[in-house]
Homo-oligomer: A and B are copies of this chain.
Amino acid sequence: MSKRIAGPEIERLIQLLAKVPGLGPRSARRAALHLIKKKEQLLAPLAGAMADAVDKVRVCSTCGNVDTVDPCMICTDPRRDGATIVVVEDVSDLWALERAAALNARYHVLGGTLSPLDGIGPDQLNIKGLVARVAEGGVSEIILAVNATVEGQTTAHYLTDQLSGFGVKVTRLAHGVPVGGELDYLDEGTLAAALKSRTAF
């Protein structure tokens, strides 16, 4: 706001909301106003939930997931197959895989990808923890579920190197046509990979 038209509390709320991904300065104002109007139904519970998260959320010392317990619920879930570890770049990828509900394994969150230009080397990622988990034994397969980007693939290669010698199978996600995808809109790389890995009908 150009002039002071409201107490600093409202302006501070708008400024902080504007830093939330998905909200910009304009939508932060709209969000702040909506929250203020729904003070009891939304603003107060949200403030509480955030304070709760500040208090309770921690990073799992085993896998790097976020949870309110350490080790996290996934690491301690006895129904999960501890012999398979799915390596992801970020917690958001872990959540995405869980929504797909396609596996019942444990995870390992790297916290990013190797990116020498940004100063991110192996020591900046949660790689030592992964190697330690594998060295401990009991792991038979590592699924590298990193993004299909240059950085993701570089990281995958590095990890394969690090994990060789432990006798674990290292696999990666299949490339191909997304389910529901239209060929016309796909890039050549994906189409070439889908052709190469074609399966019997």
Contact = CB atoms under 8 A, between A and B. Distances in A.
Interface of A: 1-10, 12-13, 16-17, 19-23, 27-36, 39, 42-47, 49-54, 56-57, 65-69, 72-74, 90-92, 94-95, 98-99, 101
Report how many copies the assembly holds.
Answer: 2
A17 B31 CA distance: 10
A35 B50 contact: yes
Nearest to A55: B9
Given A29-B92, A54-B44, A49 B6 contact: no
Contacts of A28: 22
Contacts of A47: 47, 50-51, 53-54
Contact of A73 (B5, B67, B74, B94): B5
The 4 closest A-B pairs by CB, nearest first: A7-B68, A47-B50, A22-B27, A47-B51
